[in-house]
A and B are shown apart, each in its own frame.
Chain A
Amino acid sequence: MIKNYFKIAWRNLTRNKVSSIINISGLAIGLACVLFIGLYVNDELSYDRFFKDTNRLYRVNLDGKMGNEEFLLGHTPPPVGAALKNNFSEIESYTRIFRPGNEIVYFENNGQKKSLTEKNLLAVDANFLQLLSYPLVAGNVNTCLNGVNSVVLTQKAAKKYFGDASPMGKTLVLDEYSKPFTVTAVLKDLPTQSSLQFDMLQSTESIPPVKRFNWSWVWLQMGTYVKLKPNVASDAAGIKRLESKFPAMVSQQAASAFNRIGQPWAEFIKKGGHWDLHLQPITELHLHSSNVGTRYFNPGDIKYVYIFSAIALFIILLACINFMNLSTAQSARRAKEVGIRKVLGSGRKQLIGQFMAEAFLYCLFAAVIALLIVSLALPAFNQLSEKTLNIGALFGFKAIAGIMGLIVITAILAGSYPAFFLTSLKPVSILKGSGIFKDANGFVMRNALVIFQFTVSTVLIICTIIVYKQLNFTQTKDLGFNKENVLIVENAERLGQSAESMRQELLRLPQVLNATISTGIPTQNKFADTYIPELEPGNTKSGENNILLSSFVVDEAFAPTLNLSMLSGRNFSTAFADSASVVINESAARQIGWKNPIGKTMTYPGGNNRQFKVVGVVKDFNVESLHDVVAPFALFYKTSKTYGSPTSYITVRIKPGDYAATIAAIQSKWKTFMPDNPFEYSFLDAEFDSLYRADQTIGKVFSVFTFLSLTVACLGLLGLAIYTAQRRTKEIGIRKVLGASIENVVTMLSKDFLKLVIIACVLAFPIAWYAMNKWLQDFAYRTPVSWWVFSLAAGITLVIALFTISFQSVKAALTNPIKSLHNE
């Protein structure tokens, strides 16, 4: 019987070539999308699961409120780890991490002295690799990080420094340290599914600030991981109970540290402050911590896992709908077969079996093609999604079972409606007379499904347009300064006293329009602290009167170099003694409540209560991506010595044109000052662009899937159009004999479909509008969801649909009427 099912199915498949091709290619595209997205989602879900005892590893998060400022961080003060372990038997061990700045590394390779900037350095406690078991290829996991002057390299880093020679026991000199570091172990290159990424490990013992702030409960720069005892980790309630014991411990341990910074604990609590520790499973760090601040890694977002899964589901659904539609469209023919089979003694179950076998056969073919597509297009998809997905992941036992399951589910989805619909027909209603059979229900159902397909496609088109519109907006919005043609020379702090001479040298270059030295630049290295502004007379604002201000320390050339615009007052100037001056932005003035800020003062409690007088107000400018609102911001003058910064930049405005020559000229200047130091530079517009990498990836992935869903929907429409034209050949012939023009016929055939597509567009509008408004919430500055986007999307959908249909309608209209009548 089964064999018979497949024989008939095969016969149907080969006989109706057009609808088979449409069905199979649609299903193949759908399945390929599911496989791609499945690989992507599987990859996203497998972060940080490779450690030994992964389920016992937790990160300590800090949920704090101090003054007006609230934060949730993946960072803790340095003593937290030890305090947790000493006070709670549930905690087996802890380890901490710290991200030092970039280091220049001097080394010898093949007898040649060289230097490189290492940007991916991580300082860790000695037991780090025992808790987070990144696999070693050489060295001893228990001792490799013991010494102050030990480093552990990944294979990639070892190759970078020492080529193919064995790195074990070799030495590297790090810029900030006099004693060389010895390579004590080599790590296998980190899996891409590791949230933490680093190339070089050194011991926290060797980091001065970590030692200096060992007492502090407010220095929030360290990451702390703990390993729970096995019985605790397996019991969710136990973890909750453990967390509930933290506050008592914190108030006891942190009190003296809080006293020391002039914030007695009791008063801190009374003012509404809190300082709560929480445990978060390490396996959740990648997808469930986008709300937790950290500078150790860029977390993913579970939201995109959901969105992509939904898209995959919709595309496979669209392909299944094609199958349903084409099967039921052909039901006049199939119904006759069903009727005869019933009369010949077939039970309904057997008929359902037959239709399901057919659907299964189609899906099987489609799956083979889908696997082919995936294996060919995976490199392209990797590039698109910035992943390193491996086709091998599809051939594990689980994956194969999953694919089989997918085929079966798809077959059931695609085949069940035709199967149950057709087999429920009564034979006599089909076989009476000449076997002509009307299927009014099928007609309504088909129309509904076509509307659904085009609704989904149009929603995706609108979403894609808006994502791109927003990306374009991020690039063209007035940021309050001019980011084009700005080159940043990094590591300027290494120039020390000669930075200013270097700047003067640069100004002498014909390609350089201006240059400035600053501790930070937009996108990088702002420093935030609390200030107490003077109250304007008559302002009786009660309560806490602090303001959190981010700032750079700059020279007088900063504002002109970046083209900042002063709204009132003046820029810093060598003509004044500006060491006690500050320039603030509009937002700062607004938040403080100053109507006339010039001449007002603010006190800096973190800097010996020094006072600064406002000399100018600058128009708001974006220091961060457009995801964030412009925050209150200040510029201090270079002579103010308000706070020290380990980093500084020389920012150069250059003439557009031959960038390579300009870069070479600047580099040669750098080399005259710093012959041993690598020259590192970047462009400000590129730095800004890189803030939207994730958004750009989403945009690209979105547009590809939109294209595919539209393709699938159009394939279905094409199938229906072909079928309709076929069914109406005789009618068309008669009409033409009676004098209908080709246009009449084309209109007649296209009208009904276009009606469906228009309904779909109308349905798509509110859905897309809602979804995109939600997505745009992520941006503080957003492009308007304009009406033209909807018209454009509707236009695209209509044109593509019309093209698809008219192709077939015109063909039908052009057929010689005598021929078609004769054939009937």
Chain B
Amino acid sequence: MLSLKNISKYYQAGGNKTYVLNNVSLDVDAGEFVSIMGPSGSGKSTLLNIIGMLDEPSEGYHYFMKEAVHQLKEKARSALYKEYIGFVFQAYHLIDELTVYENIETPLIYQNIKSSERKALVADMLDRFQIVGKKDLFPAQLSGGQQQLVGIARALITKPRVILADEPTGNLNSKQGEEIMELFRKLNKEDKVTIIQVTHSEKNAEYGTRIINVLDGKIDSSRNV
């Protein structure tokens, strides 16, 4: 499904390079559910961003669905993730000017889906996350946990083949967190959606089929569950 070969990411800080990712190689097959763990600042989000093509590595090769991402132009890259990837952010990143309903609807607009169809899909999603009552509120009017739910709903609405989630349950209570994990597991099992999540919780990591430990910009260990 995707493959990183000798990926490095560094920042130039006063003459010397600070490596955030150092010579990382990683292969993820279709249908895997990968949990990435590691201490804060170890480079987990950076790794996820590179996988999701939001960030470019300083060095290395990156293949996604057999396409050489490192050779693609921005337009082609955005076409790729538009088609295959759903993103859940650590900091939610909802659009402040849009209501809950519209935030969830937006990816569908960019996929040129008809308005009647969009309505049905969004209604479905609101139901599934039990936020129908909140659909006309703006992000500022929601709690952190509710915003996170909207962010997840928005990522799932396009039925992506790959979900990249950066601490999707960080702001949820443990019950909500479990529900999301169950949902992820179901998507992974039944719909064969590939999932890569970053998490600090050992328990949530166990939902995955593989757990990767990142330490100081390197993959420290990788084990199948």
Contacts and interface: CB of A to CB of B under 8 A. Distances in A.
Contacts of A344: 87, 106-107, 110, 154
B75 A347 contact: yes
A435 B97 contact: no
A428 interface: yes
Contact of A345 (B54, B55, B94, B111): B111
B97 A345 contact: no
B1 to A, nearest CB: 19
A386 B111 CA distance: 59
Interface in B165-219: none
Interface string B73-110: 00100100110000101010111111000000011011
B6 interface: no
A4 interface: yes
A435 B96 contact: no
A11 interface: yes
Given A343-B54, A345-B82, A337 B87 contact: no
A337 B110 contact: no
B141 to A, nearest CB: 13
B45 interface: yes
Interface residues of B, number: 26
B95 A428 contact: no
A43 B25 CA distance: 74
Contact of B95 (A337, A347, A434): A337
A339 interface: yes
Nearest to B87: A343
A342 B85 CA distance: 12
A431 B89 contact: yes
B91 A350 contact: no
B114 to A, nearest CB: 12
Interface string A425-451: 001100111110000000000000000
Contacts of A12: 97
Given A337-B96, A345-B82, A431 B54 contact: yes
A6 to B, nearest CB: 13
Main SS of the interface on chain A?
helix
Contacts of B49: 428, 432
Interface in A310-345: 333, 336-337, 339-345
B175 to A, nearest CB: 27
Contacts of B97: 8, 11-12, 15, 337
Nearest to A434: B91
Nearest to B115: A3
Interface string A1-16: 1001000100110010
A342 B78 contact: yes
Contact of B96 (A333, A341, A343, A432): A333
Contact of A346 (B89, B91, B96, B110): B110
B78 A8 contact: no
Nearest to A427: B54
Interface in B51-73: 52, 54-55
A428 B87 contact: no
A362 to B, nearest CB: 16
Contacts of B110: 341, 344-347, 350
A491 B82 CA distance: 90
B152 to A, nearest CB: 13
Interface in B38-54: 45, 49, 52, 54
A345 B91 contact: no
B142 to A, nearest CB: 16
Contacts of B158: 345
Contacts of B54: 343, 427-428, 431
A624 to B, nearest CB: 66
Nearest to A339: B93
Contacts of B75: 347-348
Given A344-B154, A428-B49, A433 B94 contact: no
Contacts of B95: 336-337, 340-341
A324 to B, nearest CB: 20
A313 to B, nearest CB: 33
Interface string A396-434: 000000000000000000000000000000011001111
A432 B96 CA distance: 17
A263 to B, nearest CB: 83
Most buried by A among B87, B110, B158: B110
B116 to A, nearest CB: 14
Contacts of A339: 93
B93 A431 contact: yes
Contacts of A347: 75, 78, 110
Most buried by B among A1, A333, A428: A428
A438 to B, nearest CB: 15
Contacts of B89: 431
A353 to B, nearest CB: 12
Contacts of A15: 97
A201 B96 CA distance: 74
B10 to A, nearest CB: 15
Contacts of A428: 49, 54-55
Most buried by A among B45, B52, B54, B154: B54
Nearest to A11: B97
B115 to A, nearest CB: 9
B47 to A, nearest CB: 12
A104 B37 CA distance: 107
Contacts of B106: 341, 344
B137 to A, nearest CB: 14
Contacts of A4: 109
Contacts of B81: 343, 345
Most buried by B among A11, A337, A343, A428: A343
A763 B54 CA distance: 44
Interface in A329-387: 333, 336-337, 339-348, 350
Nearest to B46: A432
A340 B93 contact: yes
Interface in A11-42: 11-12, 15
Contacts of A433: 91
A733 to B, nearest CB: 20
A432 B54 CA distance: 10
Contacts of B154: 344
A477 to B, nearest CB: 62
A506 to B, nearest CB: 82
A16 to B, nearest CB: 10
Nearest to A8: B97
A12 B96 CA distance: 10
Contacts of A350: 110
B109 A336 contact: no
B78 A336 contact: no
Contacts of B78: 342, 345, 347
A432 B9 CA distance: 15
B143 to A, nearest CB: 17
Contacts of A341: 95, 106, 110
Contacts of B107: 344-345
A202 to B, nearest CB: 74
Interface string B139-164: 00000000000000010001000000
A435 B98 contact: no
Most buried by B among A11, A339, A345, A350: A345
Interface of B: 45, 49, 52, 54-55, 75, 78, 81-82, 87, 89, 91, 93-98, 106-107, 109-112, 154, 158
10 contacts: A11-B98, A15-B97, A336-B93, A341-B106, A343-B52, A343-B81, A344-B110, A347-B78, A432-B49, A432-B55
The 8 closest A-B CB pairs, nearest first, are: A345-B82, A345-B110, A428-B55, A428-B54, A344-B107, A340-B93, A346-B110, A337-B95
Interface of A: 1, 4, 8, 11-12, 15, 333, 336-337, 339-348, 350, 427-428, 431-435
Given A1-B109, A11-B97, A344-B87, 15 more contacts: A337-B97, A340-B93, A340-B95, A342-B78, A343-B52, A343-B81, A343-B87, A344-B154, A345-B78, A348-B75, A350-B110, A428-B49, A428-B55, A431-B91, A432-B49
